Amino acid sequence: MRLDNKVAIVTGAAMGIGAGIAERFVEAGAAVMVFDIKDEAARQIAEKLSREGRALAVQGDVACEEDIQRAVAQTLEQFGALDILVNNAGIAGPGQLVDYPSADWDRVLEVNLKGYFLFAKHAIRVMRGRGGAIVNISSVHAFVSYVGNAVYDASKAGIIGLTRALALEYGPEKIRANAICPGYINTPMMDEWLAIQPDSEAALKQVLSFHPLGRIGTPRDVADAALFLASDAAAFISGTYLVVDGAMTAAGH
């Protein structure tokens, strides 16, 4: 699975799953534009990746269309093409539904769903005529709900619907769209979740018990799946999703 001479944008790539995907793509031969709202962290990742290949950083908010247009234009200016988009940027939004602030609901959906739409919109305009691949990072929350995660569940389920629509509408233009649904992955977001648990050690032990494979996932696990879906190895795969959860949902969790 190689991405030689391909150009990718990876959103939310300053840390966690996004950083893992950016690193894996550079290893596979792609040039990568690291997009993140955290400017300095994005630049550090891009600088690290540039030692192995071609990578640059651009700061922006996925909920801001002007930032997205600027990122796409900068990608074309620096690398001359755009072949792959990985929509990964996301935020959590824990809270009981009845008491959930409307402004917080709007912000989660802006980042987790509207941002995917906006980036796909502007990436597709560039991909037309040459084809491309879109990989949307959803979650097992798309089809397994947990108490106190209504807005996150809704946003991740929406990504699956958006992915199918993209595959249907732009397949005739040789643009593929697929989603990945990670389970528990060892990222800063999971660290934040553990930090708010009454007993973080017990919570981690319980999470580990959910996984028949005996461990939680790593960003590399998700990155390998993203590489497959972005590569020509998945040339006839579009409009679907790949669960990366160590059989957790198969075990009923």
**Residue 96: Cβ within 10 Å count:** 10
Dihedral sign of CA atoms 242, 214, 1, 21 in order: positive
List the catalytic residue out of 100, 116, 146, 152.
152
Q: Which two tokens stand for residue 51?
A: 């030692």
Hey, is 244 helix, strand or coil? strand
Residue 152 designated active-site? yes
Q: Spell out the alpha helix ranges (H) of 51-133.
A: 65-79, 102-109, 115-127
Alpha-carbon distance 27 to 165, whole Å? 31
**Residue 34: Cβ within 10 Å count:** 32
Strands across the sheet containing 241-244: 55-59, 31-36, 7-11, 84-87, 132-137, 175-182, 241-244
- C-beta of residue 107 within 8 angstroms of C-beta of residue 91: yes
Total residue count of the chain as it appears in this document: 253
Q: Which residues are catalytic?
A: 152
